[in-house]
């Protein structure tokens, strides 16, 4: 049973929490009926995401067996048979898409785009350098879009841009880990790794990090945001800077650029910065009579 749970990777479902972001910023996170629909959408998105993980693992069995960590995955290690994996895959797809159709047709459409995009990723697009990390980043944007179409919330351009940039930053950091493994073992864990080296990735990380910080500052001081919130939102830049610098520290100092989800689960510093950032925006959005940020 443990192997089957590992196959669908419930730990990675944390990525799908991005579905709740639009409702949070629209000040509707405590609308029970709306929240119930988003929770249902979260479950459907997680089921489809798990089906993508199975397809990816199925396609990468031989490559994963060469990887020092991924060789322990259920399919790569042989603990779960290919037949059993395909049956679970079919059940996940049926349940996920049926549930999405019952929630809203536009949500089904966004979820279908996510699935098709990742299907293309699994069947070869992931082997194209640069395009592979862009597809990963688009996947997170689609999560936010899905969270907006369920409750019919208008999605901010700034929110879309920031999610894309942050996701791209983490995807590049993950590729750095793949490059380091290649240098240590001499094996190409991914074909796309041939299109990267440490110099290129380090420059790309520095560039995208600068863009993230500048974009966030522009967002916090944009006329639309200041007019709507009438708070000094730029104070929250402190937590964004701390989180980004901590991630860079993990990458360059501690040489730990593994899965962002794993880092989120274990790194207390990043957990604290995210929690403080959320609390700050909660105060700004939901506690109107407090003047600490004015």
What is the spatial distance between Cα 72 and Cα 64, in angstroms, rounded to a whole number?
8
Question: Which superfamily, per CATH, for 1-155?
Answer: UbiA prenyltransferase (1.10.357.140)
Task: Kindly give the confidence (pLDDT) of every residue in the chain, 294 residues in length, as a single tens digit, with 9 standing for 90 and above.
Answer: 788 898 999 988 999 999 999 999 988 999 999 999 999 999 999 999 999 999 988 888 877 777 777 778 888 888 888 899 999 999 999 999 999 999 999 999 999 999 999 999 989 898 899 999 999 999 999 999 999 999 999 888 888 999 999 999 989 988 888 787 777 766 666 677 888 888 999 999 999 999 999 999 988 888 888 887 766 788 899 999 999 999 889 888 887 766 676 777 788 999 999 999 999 999 888 886 555 545
Q: In this structure, how many other beta carbons lie within 10 angstroms of the beta carbon of residue 271? A: 14
Cα–Cα distances in angstroms (integers) from residue 181 to residues 189, 203, 271, in the given order:
8, 19, 27
Tokens, residue 151: 């409750």
Scanning the structure block, which residue is given the tokens 């490059």? 179
Among left, alpha and beta (phi > 0; psi -120 to 50; other), residue 259 is beta
pLDDT at site 120: 95
Tokens, residue 273: 């910065």
What is the spatial distance between Cα 105 and Cα 241, in angstroms, rounded to a whole number?
38
Say whether pTM exceeds 0.85: yes
What is the spatial distance between Cα 5 and Cα 23, in angstroms, rounded to a whole number?
30
Domain ranges for the chain: 1-155, 156-294
pLDDT at site 35: 94
pLDDT at site 293: 47
């Amino acid at each position: 049973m443990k192997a089957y749970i590992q196959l669908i990777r419930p730990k990675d479902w944390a990525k799908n929490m991005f579905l709740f972001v639009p409702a949070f910023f629209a000040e509707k996170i405590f609308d029970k009926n709306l929240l119930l629909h988003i929770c249902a959408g979260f479950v459907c998105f997680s089921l489809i995401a798990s089906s993508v993980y199975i397809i990816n693992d199925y396609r990468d069995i031989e490559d994963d067996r060469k990887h020092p960590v991924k060789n322990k995955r259920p399919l790569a290690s042989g603990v779960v048979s290919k037949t059993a994996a395909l049956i679970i895959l079919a059940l996940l797809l049926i349940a996920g898409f049926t549930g999405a159709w019952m929630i809203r047709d536009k949500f089904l459409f966004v979820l279908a785009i996510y699935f098709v995009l990742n299907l293309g990723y699994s069947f070869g697009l992931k082997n194209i350098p640069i395009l592979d990390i862009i597809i990963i980043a688009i996947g997170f944007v689609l999560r936010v879009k899905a969270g907006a179409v369920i409750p019919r919330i208008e999605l901010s351009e700034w929110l879309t841009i920031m999610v894309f940039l942050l996701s791209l930053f983490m995807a590049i950091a993950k590729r750095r880990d793949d490059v380091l493994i290649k240098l240590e073992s001499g094996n190409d864990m991914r074909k796309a790794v041939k299109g990267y080296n440490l110099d290129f990735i380090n420059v790309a990380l520095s560039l995208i990090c600068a863009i993230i910080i500048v974009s966030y500052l522009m967002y916090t001081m944009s006329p639309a945001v200041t007019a709507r919130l009438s708070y000094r939102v730029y104070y929250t830049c402190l937590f964004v800077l701390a989180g980004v610098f901590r991630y860079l520290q993990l990458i360059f100092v501690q040489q730990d650029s593994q899965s962002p989800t794993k880092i989120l689960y274990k790194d207390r510093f990043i957990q604290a910065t995210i929690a403080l950032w959320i609390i700050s925006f909660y105060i700004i959005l939901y506690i109107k009579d407090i003047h600490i940020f004015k």
